[in-house]
Each structure stands twice: as structure tokens, then as C-alpha cells.
Amino acid sequence: MSFAKESKMEIIETDIEDADSAQAFLAGLIHSCGNINKNSEGIRVDLVTDFKEVFDFLNKIIVKLYGENLSLEISDDYIINKTTYYRIKFPLSISMQVLKDCSLIDNSGEFNLGNGVDDNLIADEETKRNFIKGAYVGCATSSIKLSELGSQLPTTGYHLEFSSHSESFLQSVQRVLLDFNIPSRIVLRKKIFVLYLKDSETIKDLLALVGANQSVLELSDEMAKRGLRNTVNRQVNCINANINKTVEASLKQISAINYINKKIGLESLPEDLQEVAVLRLANPQESMDELLKLSTIKLTKSGLNHRFRRILKIADFLKEDKK
């Protein structure tokens, strides 16, 4: 199950008792994934969603508010990109009233599904919270993938978004989120408007707002795992870089020593340089620190480096002299 769906499951685990909050949730849901169909029979509201589990939750709300039951449909037409979509149909007998109560139809009978949300529906903190819950259940998606193992590195970052054909609706969502100090951005992507959050802490605030507390904990755990992995990776990279430097330095030193030995013999070197040359040839893979531990020569690391630099200069001089 995806991270977004798990968080949606958390939302619908708790019933909404307050009628105004339930109405705000319903408005957010219809705005985000609703359709208004008008034919010879009348006007009907329905929702199209890939989140089948919302049906029972929503049906409880409709029974409580309107005393009617919803119906659920599925057909091959609703299977897109291996995702199954469901149509939740509102009875004709209550569809007009639902539209009016959610401020989706004005006094002249004009539909305004594509417009922003009526402020009267989200007049206080609780109704705003439930409006965001409805919008989240209706159209929120996320690319967040949680690691199953601590050592597994996910390829995705932290990204959560709401998508809609209506910019006005997403602007309403954006304004409400700002009321809870949750910033977001809106962009147009392939003729679809997208409100998105990319900061992990902001996403956690949103999840907490809609009541997905377990998802907040899971995301926090994932952030800790990734932070630890990044720290370990940096340390490993640093160690590898130091190893590479040690190997490169050792190869240069051995090459210089062998060249000197071939051209003039190591015995021609000063005694102090002969000592470190023999030490290096006997321990080609060791770092400078390890050479000092293996050596009977009383030297500092700086002093040992200085002797090797002298050997390198002698080898370079012999090469230049050959030219």
C-alpha cells in the first residue's frame, strides 16, 4: 500500500460527529474528485476515486446528514494505468441539496464546482481541518516510499501533492493550509493544476493536521533512517577518499624509490632517506601513521612526509638530468 493511501486510511478510521465538520469534509471531497451530471432524470452528484475504502466512511456521513445511502459502481472503463477507479453515486433525491449545502450551486442554479470554496463552510479551525481532510482523501498523492530495511536507500525524495483541474479550488486549499502555517506552491503541469509540498517537516505538519498521526511517526522514522544512512555514506566516502590518497602517495613513493635504486642505487642516498625507503618498500600498502608504528625511527608524521618529499625530488632530478 502506498504512503498516501495509508495516510488516507488513517483519516477515515475516525468518524466525524459534528455536522458542520462533516459538511466541510464533504465539500472538500466533492471539489477534489466530484462530478455533476445533468440529464433527463435530473442532476446527480458522483465521485470518481481509486480509494474504494472511502465509500463506507462517506456513506455514514450522507446517512447522518441526508438519511440516504450511496451506491458504488465499477466498470472496465475505470481501469487506467493498472489503477482501478470507482464511481460513488449520490441519489438523485438529495444531489441538488448536497450541491447547495456545499455551496456548489448558487441561487440562480449555476454550478460552481470549479470555483473556490465558500468561506462560510470553513468558518472555524475544525471545519477548515475537515475541509483539508476531504481534499486530501479526494486528490492527494505522494511519491514518498518508506524503506523496509534500514540499509535500503529509497530513490524518491519527500513530495506530496494535490491535483485538480480547478486552480481556484487549490488556491482555497492553499489559503487554508497557510492558516495552519503550512506553506505550499501551485504549478500547472500538463493542463492539470498541482499544489505541492516538498519539505519533509511541512509534509509532517500536513499529515498531523489531517489526523494521520501514524504516518507522521513513520515519516519521522524514515527521515531518521535516511539521515543515518547519509552520515554513514559520508563517512565511508571520506574513508575511501583517504584510502585512495594513501594508495596514490604510496605508489608515487615506491615508483621514486625503485627509480633511484635502478639509476644510482639506494646506498647512494643519505642514511636517513635509506631508512624510510626500505621501510616503504617493505610496507607498500600502509598509511603514514602505520609506517610510523612499524618503524624504529623516531619521527613525527611531518618528519616522515618531509623525507619522502626529498626522495621524490631526487627521483625527479634524476629524470630531468636524463633528459
3-class SS of residue 211 = coil
Which pLDDT score is estimated for 79?
57
Which residue is associated with the grid cell 601513521?
A: 289
C-alpha cell at 224: 531518521
In this structure, what are the phi and psi dihedrals at residue 57, rounded to the nearest 5 degrees?
-60, -50
263: Cβ contacts below 8 Å, ≥ 6 apart: 318, 322
301: Cβ contacts below 8 Å, ≥ 6 apart: 288, 289, 292
Tell me which residue of 59, 180, 90 sits closest to 129, measured CA to CA. 180
Which pLDDT score is estimated for 150?
42
Give, in degrees to the nearest 5, the angle at Cα 186 between 57 and 113.
50
DSSP states along 82-119: TEE-EEEEPPHHHHHHHHHHTT-B-TTS-B-TTS---G
Which pLDDT score is estimated for 133?
95
Tell me which residue of 114, 37, 50, 58 sits closest to 82, measured CA to CA. 50
Q: How far apart are CA 176 and CA 171, in angstroms?
A: 9
Q: How far apart are CA 88 and CA 137, in angstroms?
A: 14
Largest CA distance in the chain: 109
Q: How far apart are CA 2 and CA 8, in angstroms?
A: 10
Overall fold of domain 3-142+160-209: Endonuclease I-creI (3.10.28)
C-alpha cell at 20: 458542520
Which pLDDT score is estimated for 28?
93
Burial of 226 (0-12, 13-18, 19+ CB in 10 A): middle
Mean pLDDT by runs of 10 across the 323 residues of the chain is 87 91 94 85 87 92 93 69 83 91 73 74 93 93 69 63 91 94 93 90 92 87 76 81 83 88 87 86 84 82 89 87 62
* CA distance from start to end of the chain: 71
Contact 134, 27 (CB under 8 A): yes
Contact 86, 73 (CB under 8 A): yes
Q: Where do you find CATH 3.10.28.10 in the chain?
A: 3-142+160-209
